[in-house]
Amino acid sequence: MTSPSPLPSPMSSPQIRPALPDDLVSAAQVYQAAASAQHDARLAEPNPWHNADARAIDLRAAVDALTRIHEERPEAVQVIAQNGIVIAVGAVVIRERHAHILFLFVDPTVQDQGFGRMLLDRLQRVIVDADCEVVTLTASEDRRAWRRYLALGLHPGAPIISMRAPALTVPPEALPVTHDAIALTEVTDAQLAILAALDAEVKGATRSADIRRWFREEQTSGAIVTRRETGEPVGYALISIDDRVGRIGPVVARTGEDFDIVLRHALQLARGVPHAERLIWRCDLPGANQRAIRPLMRVGFTPWGLLPWFATSGIGLWDRYVFRDEDQL
C-alpha cells in the first residue's frame, strides 16, 4: 500500500506588523512585482522592467530606501505577512510635521482583499503618533488606490511634473551683481543650519539628516545664494550625480524673483559638472511651480510624465521649489 499524500499546511491569517530587518528585501520585491503589474514606468530610472540589470538596480534602490526609513523609525515600515511570507508593504517618511507615504504596495496575487486599506490605516496610526500635520503621496494610475486615498482624507492636487534632458544646452551666465553664491562641496554645521531655515520656510519642514547623507554618500554639490548687500541667504540649490543620471534639486528660494536667480545658478552648476554632456538629466517639480518650466525647457528639458499627487493640505511655498525627486521631496 502506498502512503496517503500529506495534507497541505493550512493557510494562516494574514498579519500586519512592523517590518523586521529580514523582511526588507522581500518587501522591496513586493513593491517591484506590484509596480511591474501596473506597467507604471515612472517608478524608477531606468525602467525597472526593461532587463535583469535594470531590475536589480531598482530593487537595490528600494531596499536602500526601506532600510533608511526602518533605521530612522522601525514602525514606519509595515508589512502584511502570511505563513511567514511578506505579501504587502507600506512605509512613510516622517519629517517633522510632514509625513510622505513612500511605499504602499500589495503583491498582485493577493490584491483586492483589503490589504491596501489595512496598510493605510496602520500608517495613519504611525503618522498620528508622530504628530504630523500634513500627509502627502505620489500616486500610481491605480484608480482603486485613489479611492483609498480619498477615503483617508487625501485630496488630489496639481501633479508633479517630471522632466528629463538627454543633454543640457546651458549658455554661460554669471549671477546678477545683486547676488553672491557660497559653494557647497561639503556641508558644515553652520551651512546646514542655513539650509534647514530655508527648508522650514519654503519646503514646510527641515531635513538635515537627508542633506548630510546626500553629501556623505552621493556625488552632491551645490550653492547657497545670498543677497550681496545684506548677506542674507535667499535660496539654495543642490546637484547630484548617480551613475549616468544628473539630478537638479532641491532648488529652494524665498521669493519668486529669487527663485529665478537660484534656478539659473543651479543650471550653471549642472553645466560645470565633469562630463555633464554624457549624463541624462532629471528635474522633478511641483505642478504649482510654473516659473521653472520655461527655463528648464530652454536648456533641453522636456516633460517626461505627470505624476498624480495627493495631500491632506498644503505645505510649503511650492511655487518657488524644485523637488529632489518625487520620492525624496
Strand extents, DSSP E, the chain: 15-18, 77-82, 85-95, 98-106, 134-138, 155-165, 179-184, 219-227, 233-242, 245-253, 280-285, 302-311, 321-322
Considering the domain architecture, whether residues 112 and 235 belong to the same structural domain is answered as no
Q: What pLDDT is stored for residue 304 in this prediction?
A: 92
Q: Is the pLDDT of residue 42 over 70?
A: no
- Reference 108, options 50, 214, 31; nearest CA is 31
pLDDT confidence tier of residue 49, bands split at 50, 70 and 90: low
- Asked whether residue 79 is assigned to any structural domain, the reply reads yes
Considering the domain architecture, whether residues 303 and 183 belong to the same structural domain is answered as yes
Q: What pLDDT is stored for residue 139 in this prediction?
A: 87
Q: What pLDDT is stored for residue 205 in this prediction?
A: 94
pLDDT confidence tier of residue 44, bands split at 50, 70 and 90: very low
Considering the domain architecture, whether residues 83 and 175 belong to the same structural domain is answered as no
- Asked whether residue 296 is assigned to any structural domain, the reply reads yes
Considering the domain architecture, whether residues 119 and 209 belong to the same structural domain is answered as no
Q: What pLDDT is stored for residue 40 in this prediction?
A: 45
Q: What pLDDT is stored for residue 1 in this prediction?
A: 45
pLDDT confidence tier of residue 38, bands split at 50, 70 and 90: confident
pLDDT confidence tier of residue 145, bands split at 50, 70 and 90: confident
Q: What pLDDT is stored for residue 6 in this prediction?
A: 52
- Of 129, 153, 177, the domain-final residue: 153
Q: Is the pLDDT of residue 220 over 60?
A: yes
Our count of domains for the chain comes to: 2
Q: What pLDDT is stored for residue 10 in this prediction?
A: 56
Considering the domain architecture, whether residues 180 and 295 belong to the same structural domain is answered as yes
Considering the domain architecture, whether residues 35 and 172 belong to the same structural domain is answered as no
Q: What pLDDT is stored for residue 51 in this prediction?
A: 76
**pLDDT tens digit sequence for 51-84:** 788 888 889 999 999 999 999 999 999 999 999 9
pLDDT confidence tier of residue 39, bands split at 50, 70 and 90: low
Residue numbers of the domain that contains 303: 164-322
Considering the domain architecture, whether residues 145 and 181 belong to the same structural domain is answered as no
**pLDDT tens digit sequence for 273-287:** 988 888 999 999 999
- Asked whether residue 1 is assigned to any structural domain, the reply reads no
Q: Is the pLDDT of residue 126 over 60?
A: yes
Q: What pLDDT is stored for residue 327 in this prediction?
A: 85
**pLDDT tens digit sequence for 231-240:** 999 999 999 9
CB-based contacts of 224: which residues, under 8 Å, 6+ apart? Answer: 181, 182, 184, 191, 194, 195, 233, 235, 236
- Asked whether residue 8 is assigned to any structural domain, the reply reads no
Q: What pLDDT is stored for residue 152 in this prediction?
A: 83
SS3 320: helix
- Asked whether residue 10 is assigned to any structural domain, the reply reads no
Segment 113-140 mean pLDDT: 93
- Asked whether residue 328 is assigned to any structural domain, the reply reads no
Segment 77-100 mean pLDDT: 96
- Asked whether residue 2 is assigned to any structural domain, the reply reads no
Considering the domain architecture, whether residues 144 and 20 belong to the same structural domain is answered as yes
SS3 118: helix
Distance CA 138, CA 242 (A): 22
- Of 118, 153, 188, the domain-final residue: 153
Segment 181-188 mean pLDDT: 96
Segment 90-105 mean pLDDT: 95
Residue for grid cell 517633522: 96
Considering the domain architecture, whether residues 202 and 312 belong to the same structural domain is answered as yes
- Reference 92, options 155, 135, 39; nearest CA is 135
Looking at residue 251, which CATH number applies to its domain? 3.40.630.30
- Asked whether residue 6 is assigned to any structural domain, the reply reads no
Q: Is the pLDDT of residue 2 over 70?
A: no
Q: Is the pLDDT of residue 7 over 50?
A: no
- Of 106, 130, 153, the domain-final residue: 153
Considering the domain architecture, whether residues 102 and 46 belong to the same structural domain is answered as yes
Considering the domain architecture, whether residues 97 and 175 belong to the same structural domain is answered as no
